[in-house]
Amino acid sequence: MNIAMAVFIACSVMAIVGALALILAREPVHSALSLVLVMISLAILYLLLGAAFIAAIQILVYAGAIMVLFVFVIMLLNAGEEVRTNVSRLAKWVGLPLGIFFLLEMAYSLFHEFNGRAGAATGGTFGALVPASTEQLSMKLFTEFVLPFELTSILILIAVLGALVLAKRES
């Protein structure tokens, strides 16, 4: 087992544990921090695939900006521990089996897809698809994908305006 494989397994475990803790934690701040853990592990996985720029942006934007705002709001509202209500029966009897089914299906198809192809998990195929350098990435982003890119920014602007309208409305 090489170092990359060890890092991959460690980060995957960290991401899964973080995702579980996000749902199971009762304290909102703990949930937010678990999500940060998930994002950082994902960033390390990107780094492992050779996409350093995307890894850095992942941390900078999601963990460094968005989640900080989340934590800030949680602290500002001084939100206490969550109160557990009775879980809905539909979620219990339909949702749980369905979730497990999808998990198994995903595991099966991934295993089927990559079985016997060594190095797939450490960026053999995925690494080739992702533009490695920042230059290539920005070229793609500002020529081929310029319309979705600009539309996304307008979408975010609309969200900001919406928040402003809600905040400024006379009650």
Cα gap 72→96, rounded to integer Å: 33
Q: Which is nearer to other proteins, 8 or 58 (CB)?
A: 58
Residues 56, 61, 67: CA angle, nearest 5 degrees: 125
* Helix locations, 96-145, DSSP H: 96-114, 126-129, 134-143
Q: Which is nearer to other proteins, 68 or 106 (CB)?
A: 68
44 binds other proteins (CB under 8 A): no
> What is the number of helices (H) and of strands (E) in the chain?
9, 0
56 binds other proteins (CB under 8 A): yes
Q: Given candidates 1, 23, 76, 154, which one binds other proteins under the rule CB under 8 A?
A: 76
- Which residues touch 44 (CB under 8 Å, ≥6 apart)? 7, 11, 55
Cα gap 155→162, rounded to integer Å: 11
60 binds other proteins (CB under 8 A): yes
59 binds other proteins (CB under 8 A): yes
Q: Given candidates 65, 87, 106, 164, which one binds other proteins under the rule CB under 8 A?
A: 65
Cα gap 36→21, rounded to integer Å: 11
**What is the closest distance, in whole angstroms, from the C-beta atom of residue 36 to other proteins in the complex?**
7
* Residues contacting other proteins: total by CB under 8 A: 27
**Total Cβ atoms within 10 A of residue 49:** 21
Q: Given candidates 17, 19, 71, 120, which one binds other proteins under the rule CB under 8 A?
A: 71
Q: Which residues bind other proteins (CB under 8 A)?
A: 3, 27, 29-30, 33, 36, 40, 43, 52-53, 55-57, 59-60, 63-65, 68-69, 71-72, 75-76, 78, 133-134
